[in-house]
Each structure stands twice: as structure tokens, then as C-alpha cells.
């Protein structure tokens, strides 16, 4: 993700900066050339007409009966009287001495008129060729501007790639790092540029701080786990010893069972909380009989089911086996089933498996649609009428994310809720292989 941002961010910004610089610089130069070429062409036209006028006057003074030759673009006239003026084109007649510009029949004609000793000299220059050359020059300027900008962008992009190459390499190495993992090799290298080395050094320092923080957290959770598991084990052992006493009444044995059940639940919650805090694996991958795992998860919850007189249904064939983490599935099922029992007062709880999906359906109070996006938030509780810390569903969600399972929920207020866990296709396809082998 970081590399993508660099390639389509920093590189393009550098290329755009160089292209924009060329747009401004070459564009300004093009405007200058455009204006200058117009002025130069205008000056050249005037010079041509002035030279032709001087030549016309000079030849006339040497030979008064001289008549200038008329070309297709440059024409000279010597007008002695009115009859001579009637012989020239109508758009040249009546012009006073000076420089004139005439537009006739889509043509631009520059005219210079000069009167010497009552003789009018007129030089007309059709500048179509000049305009054509000027248009070609302007087109060349425009094409050159576009070409320079395109070349600048490409070159800028290539150069930017060379400039950020060290950054992209650093991003790749950072992407491969796990939290707190320095891989024995620091990110900062001796051959890095100064700025990249500064960034790598900051990342190394940050990674070391994360590693120390995780180490302290792991030590703390390990100590807490040990300290809490010791009394839990002691309580469970004591319950077993008390239950072995022959003279206890059934009422006392029932209380011992409740203590044992509550202690077992406390141990499960402790393990789930540790997983939630540390995201450690809950067990190993193995072929798991789904029906058996569901029955194991619901066994400690049967007293609550019987007390509420709920019907518990398992529609799963005994031979459905999926390779997954048994303890993770057991923890997820325990939390989902406990959640279903807490929110269901009458009716049934049904567990089904079909096409790679394991569903838990209840006929409880249901969940309002506004609360559905918040269900998997830690400590969120839809109601205060039942016991709970609001961590059961977040634990299930974290387990599903950790193992690549998909969890979804469908609910209708007053009718019930269905939680559905969908296992990856490669697991369900492998389960078929296991069944065939059996």
C-alpha cells in the first residue's frame, strides 16, 4: 500500500512539477517568439516595401518614361494624373501618402504611397506568403511546446522513479516487517541518501520501541495468565476432591458443580481475553467433527437451556469433518451459543451446517438494524437486561479474522437472530476429501 502511494503520488508529483515548469517556461518562450515573430515579420514587410519604393523612385528619376514591372505579389505604380489612377485597381485609388493596410478578397495587402513632384508612387505587397510562413512558425512553436512538455513529463517520471527507488525499497522492507520485528538487520543502510537514511533511522527507532512495548505487554499478560490460572486450577482441583467425598448431599454436589462450571467458564474467558489482547493462536489445525465440537461447546450451557425450557437442535451430520483449529471454533461457538441463550426466553436454538457455513439461529428478542454495525465493537451491549461484558462477539470476530472465516448476522426484532460462520472454500473442499477417505 505504501509503495502504491509512492508510485502514484510522489513520482507523479515530481513529473507534474517538471512538466508544469516546462509548460510555464516553454510557454512563456513561445509567447515571446509568437509576438517577436509577428513584429519581425511586420518589420520585414515594411522593409521590403520601402526598398521597392526606393527602387521605383530611383528608376523613375533616371528614366521618366519608366514603367515598373508588376509581379504577382509585389506591384509598383507610377501615377502622373487622374487617368493613370483610373488604370489601377479600385481599392488602391485615392490613397494618401503613407503606409496603408488593405483587406480585400480575404487577402492582406500592405501599401506604401509616396508623392514626389506631383507624381504619386504606389507600392502594393500581397503578404500571403509571409502569413503562410508565420502560420507555419506558430504551428512549429505550438508543436515544440507540446513535445517539450511530453518529454519533460516522461523524463520527470523516469527520474522520479530513480529518486524514489530507495524509498520504494524501504517501503517493501517495512511492509514485510511484523510488529516489533527488526529481522536482525536495521532498515537504515550505509548507501542510502541522507533523507532516506533519516527516514529509515526513524523507522528503526519506532520499530524498536514497538518491540520493547510488545515484549513488556507479553511479559505482563504471561504473568497475569499464570497468576490467574493458578487459582483457577486450585478451585477446579478442590471441586474434584470435594465431589469425591462420599457423605455430601445432592444439594452440595450441585453447588460444587456450579462452582466448577463457573470456574471453567472463567478459564475460557481468560484464554479468550488473552487471545483478544495478543492475537495468539488458540491451538493447532486438525480435522474437527463439527457436530462433536458443537456438543462440547454447548454442554456447560445445558443448565441454562433447561432452566429456560428452550429446545436445542443440532442439524449436523456426525461425519461432517473440517480441517481447522478446534479450540478456536470451540471458543467461537461457546460465545455465540451463550449469547443466543442469554437473549432467548422461549422457543429454540438451532445449529446447522451446510455448504461450508455453520449457522446458529435463535428465536430471541432480535437486534435492531441500527445496532447491527456495532455488534462486534468491544464492550458494546444492545441491552442491559442480561449479564455480560460485551466482549463475546468481539472475540468471535477476532477469531474469524485471524483464521480467515467470514461471519455475518441476520436479525429481526421480536423474531430472532442468525449468526453464520462461513469457512474458506479450501477448507470445505478438503473436508470432502477427508470424508471420502473415511
What's the CA gap between 376 and 387, in Å, rounded?
17
User: What is the mean pLDDT of the segment spanning 154-182?
Assistant: 70
pLDDT of residue 66: 58
436 pLDDT tier (thresholds 50, 70, 90): very low
User: What is the mean pLDDT of the segment spanning 253-271?
Assistant: 77
Cell triple for residue 332? Answer: 467461537
Cα angle 124, 126, 129 (rounded to 5 degrees) comes to 150
Q: With a cut of 70, say whether residue 272 has pLDDT above it.
A: no
pLDDT of residue 350: 93
386 pLDDT tier (thresholds 50, 70, 90): very low
User: What is the mean pLDDT of the segment spanning 234-240?
Assistant: 84
CATH 3.30.565.10 placement within the chain = 281-437
1 pLDDT tier (thresholds 50, 70, 90): very low
State which CATH number among 3.30.565.10, 3.90.1150.10, 3.30.70.1450, 1.10.10.60 fits the domain covering 281-437.
3.30.565.10
pLDDT of residue 377: 74
Between 137 and 321, name the one with better pLDDT: 321
pLDDT of residue 370: 78
pLDDT of residue 269: 67
Q: Which residues contact 202 (CB under 8 A, 6 or more apart)?
A: none
Cell triple for residue 130? Answer: 509571409
pLDDT of residue 8: 53
Q: Which residues contact 204 (CB under 8 A, 6 or more apart)?
A: 182, 186, 187, 188
Model pLDDT for residues 106-123, shown as the tens digit of each residue: 788 888 888 888 888 888
Percent of the chain with pLDDT over 70: 81
User: What is the mean pLDDT of the segment spanning 216-233?
Assistant: 73
First-to-last CA distance in the chain? 45
Model pLDDT for residues 405-424, shown as the tens digit of each residue: 899 998 888 888 999 999 88
Cell triple for residue 142? Answer: 505550438
Between 82 and 351, name the one with better pLDDT: 351
Amino acid at each position: 500500500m505504501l509503495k502504491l502511494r509512492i508510485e502514484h503520488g510522489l513520482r507523479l508529483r515530481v513529473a507534474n512539477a517538471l512538466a508544469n515548469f516546462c509548460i510555464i517556461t516553454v510557454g512563456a518562450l513561445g509567447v515571446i517568439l509568437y509576438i517577436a515573430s509577428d513584429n519581425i515579420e511586420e518589420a520585414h514587410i515594411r522593409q521590403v516595401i520601402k526598398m521597392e519604393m526606393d527602387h521605383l523612385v530611383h528608376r523613375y528619376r533616371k528614366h521618366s518614361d519608366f514603367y515598373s514591372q508588376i509581379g504577382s505579389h509585389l506591384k509598383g505604380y507610377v501615377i502622373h494624373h487622374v487617368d493613370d489612377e483610373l488604370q489601377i485597381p479600385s481599392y488602391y485609388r485615392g490613397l494618401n501618402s503613407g503606409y496603408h493596410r488593405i483587406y480585400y478578397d480575404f487577402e492582406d495587402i500592405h501599401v506604401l504611397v509616396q508623392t514626389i513632384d506631383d507624381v504619386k508612387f504606389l507600392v502594393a505587397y500581397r503578404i500571403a506568403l509571409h502569413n503562410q510562413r508565420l502560420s507555419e512558425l506558430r504551428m512549429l512553436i505550438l508543436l515544440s511546446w507540446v513535445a517539450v512538455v511530453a518529454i519533460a513529463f516522461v523524463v520527470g517520471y523516469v527520474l522520479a522513479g530513480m529518486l524514489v527507488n530507495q524509498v520504494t525499497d524501504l517501503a517493501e522492507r517495512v511492509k514485510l516487517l511484523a510488529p516489533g520485528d527488526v529481522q536482525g538487520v536495521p532498515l537504515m543502510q550505509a548507501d542510502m541518501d541522507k533523507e532516506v537514511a533519516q527516514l529509515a533511522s526513524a523507522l528503526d527507532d519506532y520499530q524498536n520501541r514497538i518491540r520493547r512495548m510488545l515484549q513488556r505487554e507479553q511479559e505482563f499478560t504471561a504473568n497475569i495468565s499464570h497468576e490467574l490460572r493458578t487459582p483457577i486450577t486450585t478451585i477446579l482441583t478442590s471441586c474434584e476432591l470435594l465431589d469425591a467425598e462420599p457423605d455430601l448431599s445432592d444439594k452440595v454436589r450441585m453447588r460444587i458443580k456450579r462452582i466448577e462450571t463457573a470456574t471453567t467458564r472463567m478459564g475460557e474467558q481468560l484464554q479468550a481475553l488473552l487471545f483478544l489482547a495478543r492475537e495468539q493462536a488458540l491451538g493447532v489445525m486438525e480435522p474437527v467433527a463439527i457436530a462433536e465440537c458443537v456438543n462440547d461447546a454447548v454442554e456447560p450451557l445445558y443448565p441454562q437451556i433447561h432452566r429456560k425450557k428452550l429446545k436445542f437442535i443440532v442439524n449436523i451430520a456426525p461425519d461432517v469433518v473440517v480441517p481447522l483449529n478446534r479450540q478456536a471454533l470451540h471458543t467461537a461457538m461457546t460465545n455465540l451459543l451463550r449469547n443466543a441463550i442469554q437473549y432467548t426466553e422461549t422457543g429454540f436454538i438451532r445449529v446447522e451446517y451446510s455448504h461450508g457455513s455453520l449457522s446458529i439461529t435463535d428465536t430471541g428478542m432480535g437486534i435492531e438494524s441500527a445496532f447491527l454495525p456495532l455488534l462486534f465493537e468491544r464492550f458494546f451491549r444492545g441491552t442491559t437486561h442480561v449479564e455480560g461484558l460485551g466482549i463475546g462477539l468481539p472475540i468471535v470476530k477476532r477469531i474469524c479474522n485471524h483464521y480467515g472465516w467470514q461471519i455475518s448476522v441476520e436479525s429481526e426484532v421480536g423474531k430472532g437472530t442468525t449468526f453464520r460462520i462461513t469457512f474458506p472454500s479450501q477448507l470445505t473442499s478438503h473436508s470432502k476429501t477427508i470424508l471420502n477417505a473415511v
